[in-house]
Amino acid sequence: MSLLHLAIIAPFIIAVFVPLIYKNIKSVHTGWFILPLPILLFIYFSSFISKTTNKQVTMESFSWISSLGIDFTVKVDGLGLLFALLITGIGSLVILYSIYYLSKQKEKLNTFYVYLLLFMGAMLGVVLSDNLIVLYAFWELTSFSSFLLIGYWYNREKSRYGAQKSMIITVLGGLAMLGGIILLYNMTGTFSITEIVAQADTIIDHPLFVAALLCILLGAFTKSAQFPFHIWLPDAMEAPTPVSAYLHSATMVKAGIYLVARMSPVFAEDTLWMGLIIAFGLFTLFWGSFSAVKQTDLKSILAFSTISQLGLIMSLLGVGAAALHYDQPKYFTVATTAAIFHLINHATFKGSLFMVVGIVDHETGTRDIRKLGGLMNLMPITFTIAIIGTFSMAGLPPFNGFLSKEMFFTGMINALHMDFDWSIIIPIIAWIASVFTFIYSMILVFKTFTGKYQPEKLEKKPHEAPIGMLISPIILASLVIVIGFFPNIIKPILVPAIETVMPMYEFDVHISMWHGFNTELVMTIGVIIVGVLLYLGLNKWRGIYGIFPEKLALNRFYDGLLDSMYKGSHSLNRNVMTGSINHYLSYMFLFMVVLIIGSLFGQNAFAFSTDNLAPIHFYEVILTLIVAISSIALLFAKSRIVSILLTGTIGYMVSLLFIVFRAPDLALTQLVIETISVSLFLLCFYHLPKKLTDDPVPVKVRNAVISVGVGLFVILVGLTAHSTKLFDSISQYYIENTYSEAAGKNMVNVILVDFRGFDTMFEIAVLGIAALAIFSLIKLRRNGGKKIENK
C-alpha cells in the first residue's frame, strides 16, 4: 500500500468519521472538516505534474485477488492526472460552496458529506485504476453514490424518480461495460489496461473484438449521457446544486469520456469505434443544444447544455481517432487536443455556472426563468460570473470557451479530409449546434439578470450572496479568463493527457488567442450574428418546439418501457403462476414429454429390438389385461367407491404379476400393503366426498392429450432402454456371494439388510416420519382441537 493508494482511499476513511464529527461538533459546519482533504489531495496530485510532463508514469500495485489477476494497481499518467486534478480541484471548490449553500440547521450534513466523499474516492479510483475490474468496482460506486446524492432530499417524489432513473440507466451501461471487460480479458488474458494496450494490435482481428467494443461504448455512452441515454441527466438536477455542479457537470459525466479516451489506444484501430463516437457525439451535441433552448428551468438548461458539450467532446475524440485511418494524421490529432482542452474548459465554466444558478435559486427561491429577471443591479458579482461563464460556454472571446470552440471548428473542418462522402455534414451540424449553444447561453444570462424585475413572483427578497458562496465561482471564473488569455499555462497538464490518448503521435501544442483570420473565425462570427438574430426573434420561432410531438419524447418512451415491463411481468406472472396445481403439473408433464420425446428422436436415439424377450404366457396376458382395463376404467369412475376398488384391483393384479415373475417377497409386501391402502381408503370413506369433483370437458381433453403423451414417452423410453442393454447386471455377484459372504439364502432380503442396508434404514426413517406426520395432522388442530362447523 503506497501513498498513492492511500490518496484514493482517504475519502473513504474520512467518510467513516464524518458522522462522528457531525454528532459531536455541532457548532461548526461539518464541511469545514472535509475541506482540507480535497485540497491536500489536489496539492499531492499536483506534485505529479513534473513527472508526467517528462512522460514518466507512476505505477503502484497492491495485491488484492492475485489468483484472478485482480490487483489494485494504480497508474498516474497524463490522462489520469488531469482527471484527478479536476476531481480534487473542483471537489475542493464545491465543498467550500456547499458549506455556504447547505444550512447547518436544516440539512442532514452528515449523510451529504459521506455520500460526497464516497463519490470523490470512487471517482479517483475510476481515473487512476489500471486494473479494469477495480475500475469497474469504482465505476459502480460512482453510480451508487450519485444515486444517493440525487435522492438526497428523499422526501421529494421527483428526487426519488430522478435517482432511480439515473441508477437504472447508468447501471445498465455499467453492466454492459463489465461484459466488455470480461470479453477483453478473454482476448488478452489480463485485466491490466497497460497490458491490454500493449496487445492492441493482436486483438483487433479477434471475433470478440466488436462485441467488446460495443459493450465498452454502451458503458461510456450511458455514463456520459449520450443520446439516447441522456434522459437521466435532466432529472438528476433534483440533486442539491453543489452535487449538480460537481457530479453532473464536471466529473462523473466525464467518466464516460475518460473511458473512451482511455480505451482509444485499444479500439481506435477499428473504424467502427470512430464512426459510432462521431455519430453519437454529434447527434448528442445537436440534440442537447436544441433541447436546451426550450427549457424554462435554469438547471434544466444547464443539464441539456452539459449533454450537448459532452457530445461535443465525444465527437472530437471520434474525429481524433480518424488519425489512425487516413494519411496526414495531423489534420485529425488537433481534434484530440481540442477534446481534452475543452474537457478542462467545460469543467471550469460549467462548474461556475451551476454555482451561479445555485446562488440565484438560493437568493430568490426559484430557478424558473419566466419569474426571474432584472437581477443585474441586485447581484452584480453573480451577474459578472454568469456573464463570464455563459460567454465562455457560447464560445466568445476572450474566454477559454472561445479557444476550444475554435479548435473544435478546426477539428470538424479537418474531418472533411476523411474519405467519406457525407463528411460535409459534420461541420454543418457542429455549426448549427453552436448557434443553439449561443442562444441558450444568452437566454441563461439575459433572461435571469436583465429585463423586468418581478419581485412579486419571487419568494424571497433577493440580494447579493454571502462572500463565502461567491469564492468558488469567482475562482472558476478567473480560471476561465486566465486560461482564455494564457492558454499555455495548462500545457504541462494538457500535453501528457493528449499523449496518453494518442500515444503514437508527437504533440506540439501551441494555443494562442489570435490565430489569424481563417475559416474558423468566420464560422464563429457567423454563429454570433445568426445567434443574436435568433435570440432577438426567439418568440417568433419558439413555436417549432410545439411541432415536435410530445409522444415521441424519449422520457415518455422510458416511462412507457418501465411501465410495460412492470405490467408485462405482472401479467405474465398472473397467467403462468395461477395458483392451480393442475396447471403446474400440466407444465411439468408437457415439458417432460416434449423434452424427452424430442431428444429421443432429435438425437436419433430411439431403438427397438425383439431380442432377449421372455416368452408370453396366457396367464400373464390375462393379468395384464385386467390391469389395463381397470386402470382405464378408473378414469371414467364417477364415485369414490368404484375408484377405490379399481385401484385396489390394480394393486392386487400387480402383486399377482410379482408372483409370476418370481418375486415372492415383492408379492407378499404388495399384497399386504395394497390391503392396508385399500382399508385406509375405506376408513376415510365416510369423510371423502361422495361424488368426486369432475373436470369440465375442455380440461378433460387437455389432460387426455397430456396423459397419452406421458404414456407414450414411457413406452418409447422403455422400449429404447430395453433394446439397448450395454452391459450385464451386477447381480451375479449377489447370487454367488449371498450365502458365502452374508449367510443368507434369500437374496432379496440379504441385499436389503446386508449389502444395501443403508437404503433400508432410511426407508424405515421415511415410514417413521410419515407416521409422525399423520399423527400430528390428525391431532394438532388450529383451534386447539375444537370441532369446526362444516361449511
Partner 1 sequence: MEILMIIIAGILFMSATYLMLSRSVVRIILGTTVLSHGVHLLLLTMGGLKRGAPPLIGEEASAYSDPLPQALILTAIVISFGVTALFLVLGYRSYKELGTDNMEKLRGNDGND
Q: Of 696-735, which residues contact partner 1 (CB under 8 A)?
A: 699, 703-704, 706-708, 710-712, 714-715, 718-719, 721-722, 729-731, 734-735
Cα–Cα distances in angstroms (integers) from residue 745 to residues 661, 736, 739, 740, in the given order: 19, 11, 6, 10
CB of 590 to partner 1, least distance (A): 11
Backbone dihedral angles phi then psi of residue 183, each to the nearest 5 degrees:
-60, -40
Q: Which is nearer to partner 1, 327 or 694 (CB)?
A: 694
Q: 260 near 317, Cβ under 8 Å?
A: yes
CA atoms 671, 677, 680, 681: torsion sign: negative
Neighbours of 529 (CB within 10 A): 12
Name the minimum Å distance from CB 681 to partner 1. Answer: 7
Cα 115 versus chain centre, distance: 20
Q: Which residue from 666, 726, 727, 784 is in contact with partner 1, where contact means CB under 8 A? A: 666
Residue 112 binding partner 1, by CB under 8 A: no
Q: Which residue has 396423459 as its cell numbers? A: 707
Choose the stretch contacting partner 1; rule: CB under 8 A; options: 247-255, 346-354, 411-419, 673-681: 673-681
Restricted to residues 557-586, the positions that interact with partner 1 (CB under 8 A) are 578-582, 585-586
Residue among 510 and 662 whose Cβ is closer to partner 1:
662
Which residues are bridge partners to 639 per DSSP?
691
Among 778, 784, 785, 786, binds partner 1 (CB under 8 A): 778
Q: How far from 500 is each of 13, 510, 529, 705, CA to CA, in Å?
A: 31, 18, 38, 68
Q: Is 684 in the site for partner 1 (CB under 8 A)?
A: yes
By beta-carbon proximity to partner 1, the closer residue of 563 and 695 is 695
Q: Which residues in 736-775 contact partner 1 (CB under 8 A)?
A: 738-739, 744-748, 751-752, 756, 759-760, 763, 766-767, 769-771, 773-774
In angstroms, what CA-CA distances link 549 with 233, 546, 552, 611? 21, 7, 6, 76
Question: Residue 540: how many CB atoms within 10 A of its CB?
Answer: 8
> Phi and psi (nearest 5°) for 65?
-120, 75
Q: Are 400 and 511 spatial neighbours (Cβ–Cβ below 8 Å)?
A: no
Task: In angstroms, give the least distance from the CB of 620 to partner 1.
Answer: 7
Kindly state whether residue 257 participates in binding partner 1, applying the rule CB under 8 A. Answer: no
Residue 652 interacting with partner 1 (CB under 8 A): no
User: What's the closest the beta carbon of residue 659 comes to partner 1, in angstroms?
Assistant: 9
Q: Which is nearer to partner 1, 560 or 664 (CB)?
A: 664
| Amino acid type, 432 | I
For partner 1, the closer of residues 68 and 704 by Cβ is 704
Q: Which is nearer to partner 1, 17 or 601 (CB)?
A: 601
Which of 455, 560, 568, 664 lies at the binding interface for partner 1 (CB under 8 A)? 664
Buried b (16+ CB within 10 A) or exposed e, 197-234: bebbeebeebeebeebbbbbbbbbbbbbbbbebbbbbb
Question: Please, what is the end-to-end C-alpha distance for the chain in angstroms?
Answer: 74
Q: How far is the CB of 566 from partner 1 (least distance, A)?
A: 16
Which residue has 458562496 as its cell numbers? 469
User: Which stretch, 202-210, 259-267, 430-438, 672-680, contacts partner 1 (CB under 8 A)?
Assistant: 672-680
Q: From 163-171, 206-214, 535-543, 648-656, give the range in contact with partner 1 by CB under 8 A.
A: 648-656
Q: Does 68 bind partner 1 (CB under 8 A)?
A: no
Closest among 130, 6, 8, 141 to 72, alpha carbons compared: 130
Residue with cell 455549426: 431
- In the complex, what is the shortest distance from the CB of residue 567 to partner 1, in angstroms, rounded to a whole number? 17
CB of 761 to partner 1, least distance (A): 11
Task: Tell me how many residues contact partner 1 (CB under 8 A).
Answer: 100
Measured CA to CA, the distance from residue 744 to residue 754 in angstroms comes to 9
What is d(CA 680, CA 451) in angstroms, rounded to the nearest whole number? 95
Query: 602 to 641, contacts with partner 1 by CB under 8 A?
Result: 610, 612-617, 620-621, 624, 627-628, 631-632, 634-635, 640
- Three-state SS for 21-64 is HHHHCCCCCCHHHHCHHHHHHHHHHHCCHHHHHCCCCEEEEEEE
* Nearest to partner 1 of 391, 652 (CB atom): 652
CB of residue 493 vs partner 1: minimum separation in angstroms? 60
Stretch that binds partner 1, among 57-65, 415-423, 553-561, 777-785 (CB under 8 A): 777-785
Q: What's the distance, CA 668 to chain centroid?
A: 64
Q: Which CB sits closer to partner 1, 158 or 781?
A: 781
Least separation in angstroms between CB 692 and partner 1: 4
339 or 750: CB nearest partner 1: 750
Judged by beta carbon, residue 544 or residue 767, the one nearer partner 1 is 767
CB-wise, 25 or 699, nearer to partner 1? 699
Select 67 or 790, whichever has its Cβ closest to partner 1. 790
Using the minimum distance from each CB to partner 1, give the nearer residue, 195 or 665.
665
Q: Which residue intervals of 228-367 are DSSP H helices?
A: 232-235, 241-245, 255-267, 271-294, 298-321, 330-364
Whether the CB-CB separation of 83 and 258 falls below 8 Å is answered with yes
- The verdict on 779 binding partner 1 (CB under 8 A) reads no
Residue 665 sits in the site that holds partner 1 (CB under 8 A): yes
